Each structure stands twice: as structure tokens, then as C-alpha cells.
Amino acid sequence: MQQLFSVSKEKCINCYACVRVCPVKAIEVKAETSYAVILPNRCIGCGSCLNICPVDAITYQSSKEEVKAILKEGGKIAAIVAPSISGEFVDITDYRKFVQMIKSLGFTYVCEVTFGVDLVAQEYKKLFDDFKGKYFISSICPVVVSMVEKFHPELVNNLAPIISPMISTAKVVHKEYGEDTKIVYVGPCIQAKEEAKLYTDDGKVDSVLTFTELRELFDEFEIKESKLEYSEFNVPIGYKGSLLPIANGILQAVDINEDLLSGKIITAEGRDSILDAIEEFEGHAATISRHFNLFYCDGCIMGPGTSRGGQKFIRRTKVVNYSNKRLKSFDRKTWEENIKKHEVHKLECSFYPNDQRIEPPSKEKVHEVLKVIGKENMGKDSGCEACGYASCTDFAVAVASGLAHTDMCLNHSLNNRFEYIKTLRATNENLAKTKEALKESEKIARLEQEAANDASETITTMMKKLPSALVIVDKKLKVIQSNQSFIDLLGDDALEINEVIPGLVGADLKTLLPYNIYNLFSFVLQNDQDIKNKDMHYKDNLLNLSVFTIKKGSIIGAVIRDMYAPEVRKEEVIKRITDAVDINLAMVQKIGFLLGEGAAETEQMLNSIIKTYKEGKNND
């Protein structure tokens, strides 16, 4: 089901203007979103947010398409028009032209709600005159009714049990023109769209158009006063009910006493007055000892469904002037006959609590929020109201209840912004220093890179010049780098591959060397043990192979020498003769050492024998 009011995510600028004017705080602003959300269960349809929004981000449920569909279906269709229409359409010179404009849209009948007001006003007079110790709040304004049901449910029984003029007029029209007549209410109140959904009997209203929607339909179908003739409202015609748009008009419609000394009615209008009136009535009804006649707007002439920019007192004057004009030709006898005819209607109704109050958070949570925004020492009723709440405490309660977030507090946001700017300034200074350090590091890194490139080029050149074959492979035994001697060693196939892929980069060592050779590479990779000077036969050559680790488990290299190459053979012969001489010399030295050690021991033994022999001879 479409909700009555909604906020455009794209247009909303999070200015909190709607939060400030919402009388029941039915607007939620979460920290992670950049727009407000209207909570339909809590909304009372007052339209305050609609009129205050500076960027037109708030819209209400349109009934234009619904009404056009009703008109397209045909049959008997009646438009019942609120008496405040005289204050809205000040640009139309004659009400009879206005009636014809509505009929031009396709309506069969156009009736004033004024007669329905007369019926309801008489019921109020009976209720107030038959005082039995209970004070009532008028139920004419659907916004007031919704506010009481949702946020002051204890006062539901104090709502006057009388239907609104819209519903009473629907009953009249159904009796006059048949139960099959479809009815569209045209008025200044948006909440009337919700009220209309409550009735399915003879008080049924099929759709509700606001005055602004009616103007849009006139524009859409190009209906202009200058092109039309006169047409009168359909019967029954009302009496002083045309004064309803002015807050105390319903009282004057049936001469209910408003005297300050002897009267028992207090009339209040406007958002702030209504909030105070209901609160005081709830707490001090016996002390006040008055019935309350309440209108949320400054009279129906200033309802949210009227055109923006309307001037209250000019509209009020237009309403009074229109009433006086109508009374000049008023047929009282016919009116009385119609009143008697329609006294059969049931004008009583019941209201039911629809409590939407939120369980208040604990004092600890509220204090925690106040501490976060730096207002823990503020008075209970203190606050700048920039967040949309009457006091810092009320704001903290909303935050703790999930309806608001701490950034909505202007002082808190400014303090955070100052801290952010301070931190940002310090960060910028650190970034500037880091930038200079990075430049210096980049300079050093560039020099090191150049040196590394030079070293790489030097090493590559050296590899190419080395007579021994050199190859470097990765852990998959793929060639990373090799020199020309290695390629020459492998033969013609490798030379052809080298022409396409220089250095055999990426070639699989397994396809280049036999198993007994490349297996040594695998051994070094897996065991991290180097192999030095291992002789192996390859084709018709004798190779001397050394495999060593460059990067453990990742990169290894190998030096391969062809032992039959003249320069290698000569070098190897000299090396091996030198090794043999060194070995033989070491062996001779060892033999000499052993012989010398043995001669010394023999000499020692002989000297010992001689000495023993001499000593024995002397004894003889």
C-alpha cells in the first residue's frame, strides 16, 4: 500500500527542516543514509514537512490517476467540495463558473460540503448542551484525530463521537442521488485521503483530491473559466456551514456560545497551539473545564492541500465574503426541509487507540548520547533546536531510540569538523614531509636501479663471453637465462629455437637435456645441496657439471664445461696434474712423517736396551 508521504532520496539534502516541524517526530534520519525517511505508522498526515521542505523533496500520494479512472468508468459521479474552496480559488471570479469547470472534468454532480457541516454542527451543539461532566475534543480535523489515536491514546474516549463533514456529506449525496453514486471529495486536507479509507457504508468516499491536484487536472484538460457558462451547485444547499474553513466557524454555524465568561468552548488552531492544547487537556482537563475545538492548520483555508504562498487573512476574507453572498439568496425553508429529510443519517462514530509511542530508552543510554555530543551538563530543557528537537535531552532520546543520529547536532558536527580540519592539517604536513622523503627515496631508488641495470648488463655480457656453458632455471625447470656456450653445447635444435626465443627463455630443461643430467637440477632444487665438478657423458662429449642454488627452492644455476674442448682440456690437465702433485706431495710428507716418527722410536728403544745392558754388566 502506498504511503501518504514520501521523501525523494535524490532531492533530499538532509537539512533536517522536516524533522524540526514534524509534531510527532515521525521522520527518521539514520547515520548511514543521506536522506530522511517518513515512518508511515507514526505519520499523522499534517503535511508540515511538505510545506517546509526547501527543495521539494517531499511529495504526497496523488489521487489524480485514480480519479481519472473513476471518471472514465462513467456512471453517476459526484464531487463534494469543501467550503474552503472560496479561499483557495481567488482567481476564479464567480463560483458558478467554478462549478462548471468541475463538471467539465466529467462529474455528474457538484455538491457543497456546507450542508454536511450544518448536520455535524447540530450534533456538536447537542453534545455540548447535554453536558454530563465529560469534556470533549472536536473530531472534525482528521489530523487532530490521528494525533490523539497515535500519541495520546488515553484521550480517545474524549474525541467527540461525531463523523466529519466529508463523511456526513457523502451520506447525504448517496441518499439524494443513489447508493451507486461514486463520490470524490475535493478539499485542503491530505490526511482526508486516509480518513476516507475507514468508511465502506453509505459514508463511503471513493477518492480524495486536494485543491492543488484539482488545479493540475484543470491544466491537464485545459479547462478555463473564460470558456465556460454558469452552473449551480447541486442540492442540498448549506447554510452557515460555509464558515467551517475558519477555526470557530463550525461553532457560529449553530450559534454555540463562545462568550469568554459564559462559554464552554476553547478554539485553538495551528501546530504549536494544538500541541500545547492536547498536552494541557490531557493533564488538566478538570481545571480547564472547557471543550476543545481544535484545527491543526490555521483553519482549513491554510491546509497542506492548498496552493503554496496563500495569504491567510485574504483567504479568510474570501470565505466570509462568499458566505455572505450565498446567504443573500438563502432559502431557509428548503434548507430546513432538507435538514429534516437527512436527520435519519447515523452521524455517530467511534475512535480507537493506535498507540505509536516508542518505549523511552534508559537514562544510561540517554546520558551516553549526551556525553558523545558534549551536552551531558546541559539542562533538561536546554538546546538550540537546530537538530529539530526541542531540547538536547529530547534529541538524545531520539538518537537512543534510533530515530536520529549524533551528526544532526550542529555543535557536535562543528566540533567534529574542527577536529577533522585540525587532523587534516596535521596529516597534510606529514604528507608533505612524506612526499619529500619519497622524492629522495625515489632518487636513491632510481640511482640504485640504474646501477642494477648496469650490473645486469655487465653480468649478461660476462655470461655471453664465458667459454663455459651457463644456464639459470626456475623451480619448474624453465630457462630464465642462458649463454651462447650453453646453446652451442645443446646443438642445432637449440640454435634454431634461439633464433626465435633468444637465450631459450621459457624453454623446458627436460626437453633440452637427458634425464640423468636434468635430474641433478631437480635434486638440487628439492634438497638444497649443491653438486660440484661432476663428470658426465653427453653425446660424444665429457661434461663437467656444477649445479648450485641461487634462491632456495626457487632458482638454481649450472656451469657446464666440455672437457674435450682444447682450452678446457689444457686447463683441466694442468689442474688435475697440480692436484695429483699436491696429493703425492702430501702423501710423501705423511710417509716421511711416519718414517721419522718410527726411526725416533727405534732409536729410543735401542738406547734403552744399551743402557740396560751396561747397567747389568757393571753389576756383574
Residue 616 lies in a domain: no
- Regarding whether 558 and 475 lie in a shared domain, the answer is yes
d(CA 14, CA 197): 32
- Range list of β-strands (E), 257-345: 265-269, 291-295
- Among 14, 26, 223, 186, smallest CA distance to 105 is for 223
- Regarding whether 482 and 394 lie in a shared domain, the answer is no
Q: Identify whether the C-beta of residue 364 lies closer than 8 Å to the C-beta of residue 137.
A: no
DSSP letter, residue 401? T
Rounded average pLDDT over 463-482: 83
DSSP letter, residue 388? S
Per residue in 53-94, pLDDT tens?
999 999 999 999 999 999 999 999 999 999 999 999 988 878
Cβ-based neighbours of 418, under 8 Å, separated by 6 or more? none
Q: Identify whether the C-beta of residue 106 lies closer than 8 Å to the C-beta of residue 77.
A: yes
pLDDT at position 606 is 58
Cβ-based neighbours of 186, under 8 Å, separated by 6 or more? 79, 80, 81, 82, 85, 102, 208, 209, 210, 211, 214
Q: Which helix (H) or strand (E) holds 143?
A: helix 142-151
Rounded average pLDDT over 184-212: 97
Which of 501 and 456 is assigned the larger pLDDT?
501
- Regarding whether 51 and 70 lie in a shared domain, the answer is no
Rounded average pLDDT over 363-377: 79
Q: Identify whether the C-beta of residue 9 lies closer than 8 Å to the C-beta of residue 196.
A: no
Rounded average pLDDT over 224-244: 94
Which region holds residue 35: left if phi is over 0, alpha if psi is between -120 and 50, else beta?
beta
DSSP letter, residue 484? H
In order of 65, 123, 161, 269, 398, the CA distances from 253 in angstroms are 35, 12, 19, 18, 43
Written as nine digits, the cell of 230 is: 454558469
Rounded average pLDDT over 285-296: 96
Peptide bond into 83 cis (omega under 30): no
* Boundary (domain end) residue, out of 564, 588, 604: 564
pLDDT at position 580 is 53
CATH code, domain carrying 56 = 3.30.70.20
- Is the pTM higher than 0.85? The answer reads no
Percent of the chain exceeding pLDDT 70 equals: 86
pLDDT at position 285 is 94
Residue 604 lies in a domain: no
Rounded average pLDDT over 373-390: 72
pLDDT at position 620 is 47
Which of 420 and 145 is assigned the larger pLDDT?
145
Q: Which helix (H) or strand (E) holds 568?
A: helix 566-619
Cβ-based neighbours of 530, under 8 Å, separated by 6 or more? 524, 546, 547, 548, 549
Reduced to 3 states (helix: H, G, I; strand: E, B; else coil), residue 41 is coil
Q: Identify whether the C-beta of residue 64 lies closer than 8 Å to the C-beta of residue 209.
A: yes
Rounded average pLDDT over 506-533: 86
Q: Is residue 536's pLDDT more than 90?
A: no
Q: Identify whether the C-beta of residue 408 lies closer than 8 Å to the C-beta of residue 395.
A: yes
Q: Is the dihedral of CA 571, 574, 575, 576 positive or negative?
A: positive
**Residue type (1 letter), 3:** Q
- Regarding whether 265 and 233 lie in a shared domain, the answer is yes
Residue 527 lies in a domain: yes
Q: Is residue 576's pLDDT more than 80?
A: no
Within 10 A of 234 (CB to CB), how many other CB atoms are there? 20
Q: Identify whether the C-beta of residue 171 lies closer than 8 Å to the C-beta of residue 70.
A: no
pLDDT at position 535 is 83
Which of 590 and 536 is assigned the larger pLDDT?
536
Per residue in 320-361, pLDDT tens?
999 999 999 999 999 999 999 999 999 999 999 999 998 888
- Regarding whether 365 and 286 lie in a shared domain, the answer is no
Q: Which residues constitute the domain of residue 283?
A: 62-341
Q: Is residue 448's pLDDT more than 90?
A: no
pLDDT at position 221 is 96
Cβ-based neighbours of 199, under 8 Å, separated by 6 or more? 167, 170, 205
d(CA 46, CA 21): 10
- Regarding whether 432 and 383 lie in a shared domain, the answer is no
- Regarding whether 390 and 311 lie in a shared domain, the answer is no
- Regarding whether 126 and 25 lie in a shared domain, the answer is no
Rounded average pLDDT over 108-135: 96
- Regarding whether 3 and 79 lie in a shared domain, the answer is no
Per residue in 19-37, pLDDT tens?
889 999 999 888 778 889 9
Q: Which helix (H) or strand (E) holds 81?
A: strand 77-81
Written as nine digits, the cell of 376 is: 551531558
pLDDT at position 585 is 61
Confidence label for 420 from pLDDT (cuts 50, 70 and 90):
low
Instruction: Provide the domain count of the chain.
Output: 5
Confidence label for 95 from pLDDT (cuts 50, 70 and 90):
confident
Confidence label for 293 from pLDDT (cuts 50, 70 and 90):
very high
Within 10 A of 130 (CB to CB), how many other CB atoms are there? 7
pLDDT at position 495 is 83
Rounded average pLDDT over 252-272: 94
Lowest-pLDDT range, 21-30, 127-136, 289-298, 504-513?
504-513
- Regarding whether 73 and 47 lie in a shared domain, the answer is no
Helix axes 165-177, 114-129, angle to 10 degrees: 120
Rounded average pLDDT over 237-248: 96
pLDDT at position 575 is 59
Written as nine digits, the cell of 402 is: 534510533
- Among 372, 356, 364, smallest CA distance to 404 is for 372
Which of 124 and 428 is assigned the larger pLDDT?
124
- Regarding whether 242 and 96 lie in a shared domain, the answer is yes
Percent of the chain exceeding pLDDT 90 equals: 53
Lowest-pLDDT range, 260-274, 427-441, 457-471?
457-471
d(CA 281, CA 266): 11
pLDDT at position 373 is 78
Which of 349 and 522 is assigned the larger pLDDT?
349
Confidence label for 551 from pLDDT (cuts 50, 70 and 90):
confident
Per residue in 389-414, pLDDT tens?
778 888 888 888 777 877 777 676 66
Residue 597 lies in a domain: no
Choose from 353-367, 395-409, 530-544, 585-599 the range with maximum mean pLDDT: 353-367
Q: Is residue 467's pLDDT more than 80?
A: no
Strand partners, 560: 469, 545
Q: Identify whether the C-beta of residue 106 lies closer than 8 Å to the C-beta of residue 237.
A: no
Confidence label for 470 from pLDDT (cuts 50, 70 and 90):
confident
d(CA 545, CA 530): 11
Residue 259 lies in a domain: yes
Cβ-based neighbours of 20, under 8 Å, separated by 6 or more? 52, 385, 387, 388
Q: Is the dihedral of CA 560, 565, 571, 577 positive or negative?
A: positive
pLDDT at position 444 is 86
- Regarding whether 391 and 288 lie in a shared domain, the answer is no
Q: CA 433, 435, 441, 446: dihedral to nearest 10 degrees?
A: -160
Residue 443 lies in a domain: yes
Rounded average pLDDT over 576-582: 57
* Boundary (domain end) residue, out of 341, 370, 386: 341
Residue 611 lies in a domain: no
* Boundary (domain end) residue, out of 546, 564, 582: 564
* Cα end-to-end span (Å), the chain: 146
Residue 602 lies in a domain: no
